[in-house]
Chains A and B, each alone.
Chain A
Amino acid sequence: MVWNSASDFFAMGGYGLYVWGSYGVTAACCWSLCWPRAGTVPPCRRWRIWKMNKVKQT
């Protein structure tokens, strides 16, 4: 497969939005999952810990 130019490559024969929209979101999703520690404590558990601490304080 030979692309005539870089703009040809990015245009993907008129389907650039669909192809790059798919690959872009896939890359972003995979990148975000590479940092599991940040997502290990989900919001609901964080909230519970925060609530417990608040109860202790009062």
Chain B
Amino acid sequence: MKKLPRLFTFAAPKTFYRLATVTGPWLYAIAAAFAIWGLYVGFFVAPTDATQGDSYRIIFIHVPAAWMSMVLYMAMAGWAAFGWAANARLASMMARAIAPTGAAFTFLALWTGAFWGKPTWGAWWVWDARLTSELILLFLYLGFMALVEAIDDVRRADHAGALLAIVGAVNVPIIYFSVRWWNTLHQGSSISMTAAPKMAHTMLLSMLLMTVAFWAYAFAVVFMRARAVVLEREIGADWVQALAHKK
């Protein structure tokens, strides 16, 4: 009987590199398939909204981008903390690989939010609790990336980055609950686990399909970036040298 690989097998940079190489293209394909399906439902099946007209169609990318910005930050902080506590090299590499993707999703959440806010609120930007805390999240991502790049010693850079990421994690629940804790111009949660959806089923379907697409895309991009980070850091290892000569 063929033995299944143990979970920690992929904690080694070499085996993780192989895993990322194999799964990357498949994840891109899943992301593309779900994005096409989600956009089709969003633009050709979901009806025009009675109050917001067609401007509401921004929701199909705005909400998934905002969710991903928070999820990726927690993942980044988790990996960074684990890398620090357990002295696990790959965990710290994963944290570095996640940061640019998380920053991009945060930027997209803010950008699409501004483009949705202008026709619905009449303003590109307001200093509302949800928007401001999301902007702080972008600064945290940028701060993490700048900090780890500013320190020459890689291990020290990882530890300093982990500290910033852990402290910054307190901002994520603030973003999520900001619409409940304060009176905000931003609307409440689009989906609740305890209540029926407030939007038409086709609108919800499109949003969820795009969410799956964003998840797959995030995994693919993070895996691809992690491969590059692994190669960069393990440049002295025999397997990387062998790989370089092979190519």
Report whether A19 and B111 are in contact in the complex, using a CB–CB cutoff of 8 Å: no
A12: contacting residue among B54, B61, B146, CB under 8 A: B54
Query: Across the interface, which residues of B come within 8 angstroms of A18, CB to CB?
Result: 55, 58, 115-116, 118-119
Per-position binary interface string of chain A over residues 1-37, scored 1 when its CB falls under 8 Å from any chain B CB and 0 otherwise? 1010000010011110011011101100110011011
- A48–B112 CA distance with the chains assembled, in angstroms: 36
> B108 near A29 (CB under 8 angstroms)?
yes
Q: How far is the CA of A33 from the CA of B105 in the complex (A)?
A: 11
Q: Cβ of B229 < 8 Å from any Cβ of A?
A: yes
Main secondary structure of the interface of A (DSSP, over half): helix
Which of A14, A26, A42 is in CB contact (< 8 Å) with B53? A14
A45 at the interface (CB under 8 A from B): yes
* Chain A residue with Cβ nearest B64: A26
11 other contacts beyond A19-B54, A26-B65, A30-B104, with CB at 8 A cut-off?
Answer: A1-B46, A13-B48, A13-B53, A13-B55, A15-B53, A23-B61, A26-B108, A39-B100, A39-B225, A40-B229, A42-B149
Query: Can you list 16 A-B pairs with a CB-CB distance of less than 8 A?
Result: A1-B46, A1-B47, A3-B44, A13-B55, A18-B58, A19-B54, A21-B115, A26-B111, A33-B100, A33-B101, A34-B28, A37-B228, A39-B100, A40-B229, A42-B145, A44-B150
